[in-house]
Structure 1
Amino acid sequence: MSSPDNELWQQSWRDGRMAFHQAEVNPLLAHYWSSLGLPPGGTVFVPLCGRSLDLVWLAEQGHQVVGCELSPVAVRDFFRQQRLTPTQTTLGPLTLWQHGAIRIYCGDFFALMPEHLGTIAAVYDRAALTALPESARAGYVEHLRQLTPENCPVFLLTAEDPEEGETDDRFPEISSEITQLYSARFAIDLAHSERRLETRREADGNPPQCIELRLYRLLPY
């Protein structure tokens, strides 16, 4: 199974249209990550990782880090910007780029198998779920379930559209989509919610858009 947006994602990296890329470590990651209480040295899986600096931050906390990214442009840029010279190994439809504590599998997320990742202590989903089209999200969650142990927590960042009629002063609630996708396996803790006005970097003529940024801690039952 492949996401129908694969080619659009690849083209965005080739064209340099990366409004989704953050130029610094995500502050919610830095603030809340320790609350998962992971053992030292545990391996963290980061799907759809792009060239995120969060990978470096996680490695600096003592974790082994395994990312997956569709675009070879993003993977190459990540190692160049960190001034690292990775080894490259072709593994069927995937290419493994590796240096030190960081491994990135370049290719389709749905081509990953459990043997590629080893034992995962936690998943850091940095808006990978909400970057996918809605039609692909249930398949993404199911494949993630197949890749990770039953006791593996998920640190889930999302960028959601506010529901119609919601006001800024309402008590934040877990979205119905997150409940539907994850409640069978996880207790869902909405740890943080904020609204932000996002301006796309490319000059497409669209006005700024209000989005809801949320952090969920998904803890296995």
Structure 2
Amino acid sequence: MDTGFWHLRWERGEIGFHENQVNPALIEHLGILDLAKGSRLFLPLCGKTLDIAWLLSQGYRIVGAELSSLAVNELFQSMDLTPDINPVGKLLCYSATNIDIWVGDIFDVSSNMLGAVDAVYDRAALVALPEEMRQRYAFHLTALTHGAPQLLISYEYDQRLYDGPPFSVREKELKRYYGENYLLKHMAQEKIAGGFKGKVEAAITTWLLWGGAP
């Protein structure tokens, strides 16, 4: 799976991963991060998620990373914002009041570019990546954010019956990726009505990761 895969998905409108509502787990569990208003959250592989507008409305600042410029243009249009767009290295930075989105490969985003963040909200990033990329992503994300706490949403299903994305990422795998730098707390699990993609029983699992490296 390369960058072309995701560009093609956005160009074709094959974005079943995009939710047409604010994620219920975000609303229910964001408070566990105990963030002050004005705190800055990082959303990796953010797409055009409605979660961003909701977080802004709650008084938070947002920084995101997204491969597709098409997605980011639609994100700003949906919020009726006209961003400043500036090239930085291999990336473009789209900026408006309280929001910065880095457009390009997340592995090209540096901690200096990102700036300080108070927490990470990973709804669809880790689970979008194939297994051979997930460890690299986890290391990069931890270094990029200096071990900021994370609210992470994952899927669990029998991947023999359906091969993602999004992929099934269970507790054992999460601990392999993040256990060296974080403590993991299982917050909730909810079965998906009708199963995943209508093909296989599945659940959405919410995790808190905290205690990261300084």
> What is the TM-score with the length of structure 2 in the denominator?
0.89
Q: Match for 1:20: what amino acid?
A: F
Distance 1:39 1:180 in 2: 30
Q: CA deviation at 1:198?
A: 4.8
Corresponding residue for residue 56 of structure 1: 53
CA distance in 1, matches of 2:80, 2:35: 28
Compare CA radii of gyration and give the structure with the larger one.
Answer: 1
Equivalent residue in structure 2 for 1:156, among 122, 144, 152: 152
Answer whether contact 1:153 1:220 (CA < 8 A) is retained.
Answer: yes
Deviation of 1:211 (Å):
2.2
| TM superposition outliers: structure 1 runs of 4+ over 6 Å | none
User: What is the CA-CA distance between 1:119 and the residue it aligns to?
Assistant: 0.9
Write the deviation string for residues 97-136 of structure 1: whole angstroms up to 9, x where unpaired.
Answer: 1111111111000000011111110000012101101100
Select which of 202, 206, 211 maps to 1:211: 202
- CA 1:73 to 1:209, structure 2 compared with 1: closer, same or farther past 3 Å? farther
Deviations 1:132-181 (Å, cap 9, x if unpaired)?
Answer: 0110000000101111123x1010001222489xxxxxxxxx62101111
Looking at structure 2, the residues matched to 68 and 209 of structure 1 have their Cα atoms a distance apart, in angstroms, of: 30
Q: Is the 8 A contact 2:85 2:92 kept in 1?
A: yes
CA displacement at 1:49 relative to structure 2: 0.1
Q: How does 1:195-206 map to 2 (within 5 A)?
A: 195-196=191-192, 197-198=194-195, 200=197
* SS of structure 2 residue aligned to 1:68: strand
Provide the aligned C-alpha RMSD in A: 1.7
**Of the candidates 180, 184, 187, which is equivalent to residue 183 of structure 2?**
187
What fraction of aligned residue pairs are identical, expressed as a percent? 34
- Gaps of at least 5 residues in structure 1 are 165-173, 201-206
Equivalent in the alignment of 1:100: 97
Q: List gaps (5 residues or longer) in structure 2.
A: 161-169
In 2, Cα distance between equivalents of 1:55 and 1:141: 22
Deviation at 1:199, TM superposition (A): 6.2
The 5-angstrom pairing of residues 22-101 of structure 1 reads 22-101=19-98
Aligned mates of 2:185, 2:20 — CA distance in 1:
27
Number of aligned residue pairs: 202
Distance in 1 (alpha carbons) for counterparts of 2:31 and 2:132: 33
